[in-house]
Amino acid sequence: MRSGDLKHLLTFQASTETSDGGGGFLTTWSDVYECRGAIWPISSKERLDAMKLELQIDNRIRIRHPRSIDLTAKHRIKWHDHITDTDKYFNIVSVRNMDKRNMMLEFLALEEV
């Protein structure tokens, strides 16, 4: 992969659960790793469920393999879209080590809409 393809600054986040004091838990996300990556939308689906329109966007995200951290489907990816000036979040569905050579990681992820 050419370095020019890695034009998005991505932040990987890990979740922690803390007690809310009422018997439940609050999920908070903290940044654990930041790198450059490429994002490609693969497909999108719309459906009407209980009179509410739901949108699902599938994405392929690729980064150089990090040596310092093991990124898994328990993490999520945050990307700041400078065009709309909003943060976008991607829930990781699967992680693939490209060619099993520890050079590139590819994530299939669902965008939170």
Q: Which domains does the chain have, with CATH numbers?
A: 3-111 (2.40.10.270)
Name the residue with tokens 């829930």. 91
At 111, the amino acid letter reads E
SS (H, E, C) the chain: CCHHHCCEEEEEEEEEEEECCCCCEEEEEEEEEEEEEEEEEEEEEEEEECCEEEEEEEEEEEEECCCCCCCCCCCEEEEEECCCCEEEEEEEEEEEEHHHCCCEEEEEEEECC
The CA distance from 104 to 41, in Å, is 18
Question: Can you give the pLDDT at residue 9?
Answer: 95
Per-residue pLDDT of the chain (113 residues; tens, 9 = 90+): 665 789 999 999 999 998 888 888 899 999 999 999 999 999 877 777 777 777 778 999 999 999 889 999 999 999 999 889 999 999 999 999 988 888 999 999 999 87
Question: Can you give the pLDDT at residue 71?
Answer: 95
Question: Can you give the pLDDT at residue 80?
Answer: 94
The CA distance from 48 to 36, in Å, is 35
